[in-house]
Amino acid sequence: MSFAPSGSPALDLMVERLASTSDPRRRYEYVLWLAKKLEPLPEEFRHDAFKVKGCVAQVFVVGQLVDGALHWRGDSDAAITKGLLALLIEGLEGLTPQQATAIDPAFIAATGLQASLTPSRANGFLNILRLMQAQAQSLASKP
């Protein structure tokens, strides 16, 4: 399966890895493995300003801009959602705000995950990306 590069080499690598697996269970295992690697999110970031709206699970994501590069932290109370969040955190780590906001959500279809995700999880995945892009844009506009 081929897909248009997202603008993030790390994200493209993960999409390629997921797309090359025909077994939906293997994709889930990879997403769960990513979830386990995610650093814990301090309590101070667990409030509405960082909460992803439109997710059934509790999802928090926080972006910081350091020397022009984005750095992300986040957490979720649902393992699969946490894995999807981890995929986005790893994929958008170190990008500039302009690169992050330019990422086309079409990469989600290329992962093959949508076939295995419930509609609410697929929508949540997109909502996480949209919040990360909104934070990136907001961080870029701060002096």
Candidates 42, 94, 99, 22; CA nearest to 64 is 94
**Every domain of the chain and the residues it spans:** 9-141
Q: What topology is assigned to 9-141 in CATH?
A: Sufe protein. Chain: A (3.90.1010)
Confidence at residue 16, expressed as pLDDT on a 0 to 100 scale:
93
Residue 17 designated active-site: no
Q: Given 18, 34, 38, 55, which residue is catalytic?
A: 55
> Across the 143 residues of the chain, what is the mean pLDDT of every consecutive 10-residue run?
74 93 91 95 95 92 97 96 96 97 91 85 92 96 80
Report pTM: 0.93
Confidence at residue 3, expressed as pLDDT on a 0 to 100 scale:
61
**Which tokens go with 98?**
């302009």
Candidates 97, 100, 91; CA nearest to 68 is 97
The answer to whether 27 touches 84, Cβ cutoff 8 Å, is: no
116 vs 22: CA distance, rounded Å: 11
Backbone angles phi, psi at 59, to 5 degrees: -135, 130
